[in-house]
Homo-oligomer: A and B are copies of this chain.
Amino acid sequence: MAAKSEQTRQLVADVALKMFREVGFEKTTMRAIAQEAGVSVGNAYYYFASKDDLVQELYIQVQDEHAVVAAHALEGVQDLVGRLKAVLHTGVDVMAPYHQFGSDFIATAIRPSSPVNPFGEASTAAREASLAIFRSAVEGASPAVAKKLRRDLPELLWLAHMGVALFWVYDRSEGQRRTRKLIDGAAPLVARGLSLAKIPGVSKVFDDALGLVRSVKEDS
C-alpha cells in the first residue's frame, strides 16, 4: 500500500507550506521542516528533490485554488471587464497569504532551470490550468470578443496576469491596495483597447502585433 508513503509526503508538504506562510521562505529551513514534521532531513529529500520543489508544491496548490475560486467568481458575470476583474482579483486573493514570501517565490520561479518556472516543463499542468481560466473568461464573455483576437487573447492576458503578480510582489501598500487599483483601472482599459480593433487604422496595428507575437513564439 502506497498510503503510508503518501502520508509522509503530504506531511512534509503541509508542514513546509505552513511554515512558508508563517515564518517566511528563508527561515523555513529544510532542517526546520524535517524537525517540525518529525522526520529526518534526508527523508524530506526523498520526496522532494529540492527546496524549490516544495515551492512548486505551493505553486500548484495556489493555482488549483485560483481555478476553483475564479470559476465561482465568473458565474453570472457576462461582460469582459467584469470577468477580467474577477479572474485577476481572485488571483491576488489566493496569493495574499504568501505576500511576504512573494519575492522569494518569484526569484525562484524566474530561473529557467527551476521546476517552478511558469514557462517550464515541470509547470505545464499548472500553466495549462491557469491558461484555461483565462480562456474561459474570454470565451464566456458577452458581448463576445472579436474573433481574430479570441485565439491569442487568453495567452496574452495570462502574461498580463504574470505582470500583475510581479507588481503585486513589489506592492508594499496595505492589503496591496495599489494592485487592486491597477486591476480595476486596467481591466476596463483592456476592454476599451480591444474594442478599438474595429477602427480600420487601428486594426492593422493589431494584426501586425499579433503576427509579431506569433512569429516570435514559433521561431523555436
Interface residues of A (CB under 8 A from B): 103-104, 106-108, 110-113, 119, 169-170, 173, 177-178, 181-182, 185-186, 189, 192-193, 196, 199, 201-202, 205, 208-209, 212, 215-216, 219-220
Contacts of A107 in B (CB 8 A): 107-108, 110-111
Contacts of A103 in B (CB 8 A): 110-113
**A181 and B112 in contact (CB under 8 A), knowing A201-B196, A220-B173?**
no
Copies in the complex: 2
In terms of DSSP, what is the predominant structure of the interface of chain A? Answer: helix
CB A106 to nearest CB in B, in angstroms, measures 6
A216→B182 contact, CB < 8 A: yes
A-B pairs with the 7 shortest C-beta distances? A185-B212, A107-B111, A107-B107, A182-B216, A103-B112, A103-B111, A192-B205
